[in-house]
Amino acid sequence: MATSILIIDDSNQVRAQIVKTLQKVSLFDDYLEAADGIEAFKLVLNSPVDLILCDLEMPRMDGFKFISMLQTRDELKDIPVIMLTGREDRDLKIKGLEEGACDYVTKPFDAGELVARVKVQLKIKCLQDELKRSNELLKQLSNTDPLTHLYNRRYLMEALDREYQRAARKESSLSLIIIDIDHFKKVNDNYGHQQGDVVLAAVAALLKKMVRSYDVAARYGGEEFVVLLSETALSQAMLFAERFRCAVQEIVFTGKMNGLTITVSLGVATFPSAKVDCVDSLFRQADEALYKAKQGGRNKAEAMS
């Protein structure tokens, strides 16, 4: 992956000297330059940057203001900034570090010192980026069902509480659909649990494909799935449920399960409703609707009564 550095200094000569010094050790692929903080901020908003060398004293917008502006943007605040200053002023350096800079180099700079300080900050950033990726992966794993790659039950309940509160606050609709694969035990009994997992994964993949990016699709447990449809009234949720029911019957299996057709039963409930005054009652209404669908012969979608 290409690495880039942004060099901010009102002196063309200083910028050229820095570029020449760093190019000798091949630390970066791209070198971006700016003469002041305003020009630099425009660049960093539009171009990925791994490290910034920033002069403190510049026209229009100085280094202090530039560094403080970086801290206001989540996507920019973790970019390491090395201050460039021509003054041996302890208070000035402390102020820059307090604003968010990571280190400083005094001009005229020693080439070896500049390279060493840049290498240290690049290494720190690399470690921080790896930690972020690891944390993101752990978060994803903790929220995801390993078989179906849908959200798991724990995440679902957190999302349900959050979406319910949001719908109540905004006076908007929230629909919940419980989906159950009909006669799933027979699939396991006839084909084995491994093939049963294939069925679960296929239904989950279809569900993931059909929901909107901001909806929540989760495996609730066993052969049950739950969908949260935000900003969705009961009639619209029923249309989704019916489309999904029909689509499930079209899933084609190969190998041992060639010719197998599966169906699902669905229960749908929506907030606001006279029968729904909390998360538990919303879930209960959908569960009762699912029970009605099963009692009615399965392979159908039923709404809360």
Q: Is 303 exposed, middle or buried (0-12, 13-18, 19+ CB in 10 A)?
A: buried
Q: φ, ψ for residue 4 (rounded to 5)?
A: -140, 150
What are 106's strand-pairing partners?
A: 85
Number of Cβ within a 10 Å radius of residue 234: 16
With a CB cutoff of 8 Å and minimum separation 6, the contacts of 182 are 262, 263, 264, 265, 294, 298, 299
Rg (CA), the chain: 29
Question: Of 259, 264, 274, which Cα lies nearest the Cα of 305?
Answer: 274
Give CA torsion, residues 81, 87, 93, 99, to 10 deg.
-60
Number of Cβ within a 10 Å radius of residue 220: 19
Q: Are 229 and 174 in contact (CB under 8 A)?
A: yes
Task: State yes or no: cis peptide before 80, omega within 30 of 0.
Answer: no
Active site residues: 223
- Give the integer Cα–Cα distance in Å for 163 and 263: 29
Q: Are 243 and 210 in contact (CB under 8 A)?
A: yes
Q: Which amino acid is it at 267?
A: G
Question: Of 93, 21, 90, which Cα lies nearest the Cα of 57?
Answer: 93
